[in-house]
Every structure is written in C-alpha cells, then in structure tokens.
A and B are shown apart, each in its own frame.
Chain A
Amino acid sequence: MEYTISLVGNPNVGKTSLYNRITHSLEHVGNWHGVTVTEVSKKIMFDHNTVNMVDLPGLYSLSVYSPEEGISRDRILDKSSDLIINICEVNNLARNLYLTLQLLELDVPTVLVVNMMDELKKQGKVLNYRKIEKVLKIPIVPMSAKYHSDVHLLMQVALDHIQTHGANTVNLEYLEKLPLDDVVSIIGANAANAGFVPRWAAIKVLENDAFVLEKLNLNELQIKALEAMGDMQARVAQVRYEFIDKITEGAISRSVSDEHHEMHEHTEHNVPIEREGEPEEERDKKDKHARHHDKHKKSERLKMLGFSRIDKIVLNKYLALPIFLLVMALIFVVTFGLVGKFFTWLLELGIDKLIYNPLTKWLVKIKCPAWIVGLVGDGIIHGVGGILVFLPQIVLLFFFLALLEDSGYISRVAFMTDGIFRKIGLSGRSAFTMLMGFGCSATAVLTARGLEDDTMRKKTVLLTPFMSCSARLPVYSTVAAAFFAAGSPFVIFGMYVLGAAVALLLAALFEKCVKPLKSGKLSFIMEMPPYRFPTAERVFQIIWNNAKVFLIRVGTVIFALNVIVWLLSNFSFTAGYTVGKNAKSILELISGWIAPVFKPFGFGNWKAVTSLLSGLVAKEVVISSIESLGGVEAIFTGSHASLSALTFMVFTLLYVPCVATLVAIRKEAGLKWMFFSLGLQIGVAYVVSLLFYGVGLLYYLNKGVFIGCIIVAAVVAVCISVFIGRLRGKKACPYCAGGCGTCSKTCKKTNRDKK
C-alpha cells in the first residue's frame, strides 16, 4: 500500500528533526522559528508499505499569518494526507495542543507526538500522557527526536492508526459553548458548496478566518446576521484554552526516583506546567523547595536556572548590543585570523608541494604542449586549488553559524536588534535572514518567506545580498593577505561591517523615499526559543551540508568556469595560444571594451574585468580567475595598488552575488524586483566604490585636506541629523520615532509620563 503522512506542528517543535530521523535525510534544522519554509517530502519503505513523508512549515493555528504557514494550512485542508503526525513540544504543551484541537475539529486522522521528552526528564518530571490520550482518543507517542528516538515504534503506531481509525469519537465539549448551530443555519449551504464540513466552517466563521470567509462567499444578509452575533474570535480561543488547561492539569508531575525515567502513570505532586512563564522570584522560591525535596536534582536544577540567567546578561539593556558585536568580532577573528589562516596556509602548501610541482614537472617531462601545461598548472590547479584552500575557513564560519542557530542566540539577536530594524521599516525577524546571508545569499533569501508582511519581505530580500556571503570570503582573504599582511583580519571584518551598513542605510532610504517599499507600522510577534545545548551531531550536519555544497561547486561550476576563462584568456581568434606571442586573447578583447568603466577605481584592466564578469556565476570564481590570470600582483599595479585592491574588494562585496541569488530573489519577490535588485546591486557597488576610491585617493594625496574634509562632512552630518530630529520630534512620540503604531495624540506612554 502507499500512504502519505504529513508532519504538522507549531514552529520549532522538532518536525524537521523527526523528519530527518524517519527518512534519513539531512534537511536544515535549527533552534529558531521558521527554519522550514517550504514543503519537503521523501518516500520511504516501511513494513512493505511505501510511505510518502511530508515535512511542512510550522504553524500556530489553521488561521494563518505568513505565506509559509499557508502551505501547511492548504496541505491539511485538502486532506491529501492519509495521516497527520502532529508534533507537540512538552515544554509548551498547552499552546501546542491548541493546534491539535483544530486538527480534531477538522476530523483528520491524527497521531500525536510529544517531543523533547529529554528536556522534561532533565527537570526531573514525567508526563502522564495516557491521561490526555484518553480524552483526545488519538494515539500519543512521547519522543526525543533530537537524540535517538524509537522512530520504528512511531511508524508502527501511525500505520496501525491509518488502517484502524474510524470517525473520531472525541467529545470536544468546549464546542457546545459556541453558537455553532446558529452559524450553521446561516452559512450551511455555502459551506457545502465550498466543500467544507458546515460545523467546521462555522468555527472558522466565528474565528473570523479570512480564508474560509472568502471561500464561503456570503451575501450581505448573511454577513449582517453573523455580525449581529457579536465578536466571538476571542471566545473561540478562550474555550479551546480552557479545555486544554482542563485536560493537561496535573499531566506533568515530578518523577519519584531517578531510576524510573520511564514515563509512568504517577501523579503525586501536581506542579503546574507554567514554569518559564513565572516571574523569576516565584520560580526561585519553588526551586528552593525542590532542592530541599530532592538533593539529587540539585546540579540539574542549577543548570536550568543558569539558562534563564544567561538572558539577564545577554538581553541586558546596555550589554546586549556590545555582547552581540563582541560575539561577531570573535567569530571573524577566529575564522579569518590565526586559526582559519593556519589551516588555509597548510592546505596551500600541500597543494603546491604535493600536486602543482610534481604534476607540472611531469607534464613538461613527457613533452606536453605548453598550453596544456599552462591549463593544468595555472588554469586548474592554481585556479581551483586557490578556492579549495578556503575550505577550513568556510567550515569554521558555518561551525559558528550553526552554534548561533542551534543555541537559540540568533532569536535573541532578532529581539535586540528589532529597535534598529523597526526604525527602518524592517523587523527583527529580518535579522535572521540577514545573518544567514553571511553563509549563503541564495539560501538566506529563501528564509525570508517566514516574514509575514509583503513589503518587509521584499525589502529584506533586496538587502540580504549586501550581507557578505561565504563565497566572497576567498576574495577578501587573498587580496587582503597580498596587500595588508598583518592587518588583513581587520580589513576583512571591515568588509562585513560595510556590507551590513550599506544594507541598513538602503533600508532607511527605501522607507523614506521608495513608496512601494515603505512598510510603515508593522507588528512584530515572535516566539523566543529556550536556550538549548547544540548537539555535536547537528552542528556536524550543518557543517557537512555546507562543506558538501562548497566542494561540489568547486568540482563543477568553478572548475568548468576556470577552464573556460583560462582558455578564452590565453587563446585568440586568429593566432591560437597567445603566450609568447604578440596577440590579444579573446577575453582581452571583450573585457578590454568594458575595462574603461573601472578606470576611476584604478583597476581598469581586462584581467580585473574578466574576473568580475566570471564572478557573476559564483563569487569564488573572482579569485580563481585572478589566480589563473597571473595572481593579485598582476592586476593591481601602479602607485595606489593597495587602494585599488581595497576598492576591488568593496566592489566585489556589493555587486551581484551570483545568478543563484537572483533566481532566489525572483522566486520570493517576482521578476520585476529581481531586475530592480540587479540594477540596485550594480548601481550601489559602482557608487560606493567610486566614493571609496575618491576618499582614499584624497587621503594618499594630501592628508591635511583629507582630515579637513572629514571634519566638514561630520559637521554637516550632525547638522542634518539634528535638523531631521527636530522635524520628526514635532510629529512622533519620543518612544518610537514614529514607528510604533500607538503614537498619535493618544500615545499612552507619553500621556502617562506627562502626568
């Protein structure tokens, strides 16, 4: 038999972790909300059955909020799955069961998985899941998907349930508190026409669900009749939560002894579930009691408390941003400084001594034509090898990104930067996407789907390419090492900061000047995951996934492009192999036409242009082209070589990341915005490079004039900001610079302070 089973649940409960366990996949997981933004599926064999497992983006309710939640809602409503595995997280059981109830209202066959049992165990508690099972009348399987779990048992239960389940007999008693019959009498016919079960549609109508209301296509009379019933939206949520509180009361209790870690039916001390939700002092009081009660748990309790204390420092009003910058600086120093550099140097040495030297010697010995020696030696080994040596640095970068993601810190970053982002019409959630942009622009752009607002999503998508991705890293490293030696880590860090600064400035500019990109007041509601210890397995998985992608790129796209670039730059249309001859190669001709465009930056030569052009396919190729065209020194010449090299880095940072990113932008924002983005990237790259080179030149030529100009610029900037501040101060309340949505004459905070 063939079955389809979908994984459904709140965000960040471990759906993808479980999916990876069941299907032996390596899909991206992380400790933050909205990692999965699209449907993923894989067929597996189980017990002579073909099971099509579907992993869906997380959602809180069937009334959706952002486009990626819509994917899950559609999948649940079209009933194309034979079974839904609903995953709950044991720490947030109440809120998770809220979705479960909605699945039961819809009467889709469901098996409930309660995940993260390991965390409950660490707190010395057990879950009496049988009690909930009895009420909801669906099978419940407790699990720890992050660690090894009995996936076999779950699949057995799931397939059994598909074969044996009848109509759900669960008594959702809270529904009686809602005037469902009245609503059904109004919308019954419409619901049947739209293909909904009338009673279910009635619940959704009470919830004021836009999607269902649109499908029902009600007439004015019906709408009026419904409006007469008053606002029931809050009531629906309330009765569901009341029911949940009733069935979960006492379900989680302290385990009796350390030896019995099994989830057994024991409910001695009824401790409410609401632990994290309690104020610190009260929690401390209870914890003192607990320590007295059970000395064995002492160390673990302290650890749990320690976790919430981390937030006290990390999210401290004054320390939060400095800590964040320190963390980022540390990551860059380790990745680009000593550690990363050492491994890269080691690899470089290895390639040179073990491959390049013997191979070229051997090729010369067997009397190969000179162009083959050149192609293999310079085109392939130096070009491709020049990229390969950055594997250690890329591994390090993704190691740190994995730690940021898996620990839960990345969500704190979103929270603490929300203040800045709000002012420029973005939300802290955009910080996710932009931070992921340090890894890979193309995949980061796709994560923007979790942003609920259309304008904000477009803006985030447009700005993410300016965040310096890992493919640009080899370019900075090589160029900076050649010209700035010891200072190179600082130069590289400067590039990252410049990229982020350009992105933020552009966002501010869009918000003020580009109408279709003005997002105005927006709400920001984002769950904060608890800190979790990253497991070695998951960190390794993220590193391995990205290293694999990198190696495949090196072996395919970069390799092929390098051969093409080398051939085109060493052969001419008429004279064949050009080395040693007085003839212009094909690329020398083509790039030579474009080269004058880059004259103002000091690198208006065909080699630099060629490398930038080939970089459109993949940014690493910029440096591999340079290597195969004679190295950095051959390109940046003249009296201001280091300045033009620096400008080259700036241009590389800001111009089009790669074709794949453009494709991703088209997918998320549409063709029109893709072209806008293309123009924006090239335009910004050109203008900023021009400014950069100009200012740099001024510095080299006359330091006095340079310092004078800086002072004048600073004074002008201060004047402008003060002037704008004055203008603004008249309109907006002082707490939000106009973005909070509550500021008007009735701003509560201002009123209160006036009193």
Chain B
Amino acid sequence: MTLLDAQVNTKYKVCGVSGEGNARRRLLDMGFTPECSLYIAGVAPMGGTVLVGLRGFLVALREDAASLIQIKAAS
C-alpha cells in the first residue's frame, strides 16, 4: 500500500519510493528510505495534502508525492 492508504496517527514503515525525477529524489534525500518508520500527523483542511512525521521532523506532502511512498504496517 502507499501513504495514501495510511491511517492518521498510526506507525508504518517505508518499503520504498516509486516514481522518478525530482520528487522522488527529494523524498529519498529527506530520508524516506526502506525500514524508516513514519506516521501521518494530520490532513490539510481542504484535503489533498498530508503532514508526515519521520526521523524527528514533519513534512507536508501533496497526494501525488504521498502516492509514491510504499509503506507497510510497523511490526
């Protein structure tokens, strides 16, 4: 599943980042690497943008970027 399917405030682990180009690179550089744990801290009022917490910081992602991030439930 991708980050789009994630529930708010639940812990997940990254499997990988799909896609190509700038957005993917930025996500990788920001630390969305396999086995890194993350959670969704909130959703923007108009929807479509989520706030993700990972590695000790928060990052806002639009759905298109969030859909690139493959996740699995944290064990």
List residues of chain A with CB under 8 Å of any chain B CB. Answer: 60-61, 63, 65, 91-95, 98, 207-208, 233-234, 237-238, 241-242, 273-282, 311-312, 315-318, 320-321, 414-416, 418-420, 422, 427-428, 452, 521-528, 530, 735-736, 739-742, 748-749, 752
Contact = CB atoms under 8 A, between A and B. Distances in A.
B5 to A, nearest CB: 7
Given A415-B49, A748-B2, A281 B9 contact: yes
A279 B9 contact: yes
B59 interface: yes
Given A418-B60, A525-B23, A749-B4, A63 B29 contact: yes
A741 B64 contact: yes
Contacts of B55: 92, 94-95, 274, 277
Contacts, number: 180
Given A63-B25, A95-B31, A528 B45 contact: no
B10 A422 contact: no
B51 A415 contact: yes
B48 to A, nearest CB: 5
Contacts of B39: 277-279
Contact of B33 (A60, A241, A278, A749): A241
B33 A238 contact: yes
Interface in B9-24: 9-11, 16-17, 22-24
Contacts of B24: 233
Contacts of B10: 279
B27 to A, nearest CB: 7
Contact of A524 (B16, B30, B61): B61
For the residues of B in contact with A, the DSSP-based class is mixed
Interface size class of B (residues with CB under 8 A): 35 or more
Contacts of B53: 276-279
Contacts of B5: 748, 752
A233 B31 CA distance: 13
B22 to A, nearest CB: 6
Name, among A61, A94, A279, A752, the residue most crowded by chain B CB atoms within 10 Å (CB to CB): A279
A583 B43 CA distance: 68
B11 A422 contact: no
A98 B29 CA distance: 8
A98 B67 contact: no
A12 B61 CA distance: 18
Given A95-B31, A277-B38, A527-B58, A742 B25 contact: no
A57 B60 CA distance: 20
A414 B59 CA distance: 12
B25 A207 contact: yes
B29 to A, nearest CB: 4
Contact of B59 (A65, A452, A526): A526
A91 B56 contact: yes
A428 B30 CA distance: 19
Given A65-B22, A320-B45, A276 B56 contact: yes
A233 B38 CA distance: 21
Contact of B37 (A274, A280, A742): A274
Contacts of B54: 277
Given A234-B33, A524-B60, A736-B63, A279 B11 contact: yes
A275 B10 CA distance: 15
A418 B27 CA distance: 19
Nearest to A238: B33
